């Protein structure tokens, strides 16, 4: 009986220690899901890539305005080993702020980024939906950016409009 009590006590202490360290073993839909800093995970329209025993969650990083996430301020990545606990890896693709003519100028609509690893080129390739600055949803473009590692920084390559003649 003493051995059982000691095991239960040890299990309780380990569970408490994991809880204190902020380790998640579940998430609750509709509630805030915190990252390693205790902040709300901010990757809208995202996609997850599995690479070298880690998950990489890429998505639109949105700034808050009027209490709601509104403006895309780049693409952010979070990493995880277990899909419950996420570490903020920062912004991996920033909108261009010093060139208002760039396709990815600040104020553009950059959405739904997805990243894959290209085995042939050994690069990470990001695909995303792009709408040009101040054009609403008229451009209907696809964007491409590449990086040497999953944490970027990703280099913008180009955008184009697939099936533009159909």
* pLDDT one digit per residue (tens) for the chain, 166 residues: 555 444 444 343 334 344 444 577 877 888 888 999 999 899 999 999 999 999 999 999 987 766 666 667 899 999 999 999 999 999 999 999 899 899 998 888 899 999 999 999 999 999 999 988 888 888 889 999 999 999 999 999 999 998 777 5
Cα(14)–Cα(19) distance, rounded to whole angstroms?
9
- Which residue in this structure is represented by tokens 């997805």? 114
Could you say which DSSP state residue 95 is in?
P
Q: Structural domains in the chain?
A: 33-160 (2.115.10.20)
């Amino acid at each position: 009986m003493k051995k059982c009590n000691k095991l239960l006590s040890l299990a309780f202490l380990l569970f408490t220690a994991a809880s204190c360290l902020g380790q998640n073993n579940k998430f609750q839909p509709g509630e805030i899901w915190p990252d390693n800093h205790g902040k709300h995970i901010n990757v809208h329209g995202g996609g997850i890539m599995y690479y070298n025993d880690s998950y990489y969650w890429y998505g639109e990083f949105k700034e808050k305005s009027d209490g709601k996430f509104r403006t895309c301020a780049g693409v952010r990545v979070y990493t995880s080993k277990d899909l419950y606990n996420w570490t903020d890896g920062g912004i991996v693709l920033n909108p261009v702020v010093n060139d208002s003519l760039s396709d990815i100028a600040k104020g553009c609509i950059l959405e739904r980024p997805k990243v894959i690893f290209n085995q042939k080129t050994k690069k990470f390739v990001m695909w995303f939906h792009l709408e040009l600055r101040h054009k609403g949803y008229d451009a209907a473009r696809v964007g491409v950016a590449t990086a040497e590692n999953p944490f970027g920084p990703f280099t913008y390559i180009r955008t184009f409009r697939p099936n533009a003649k159909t």
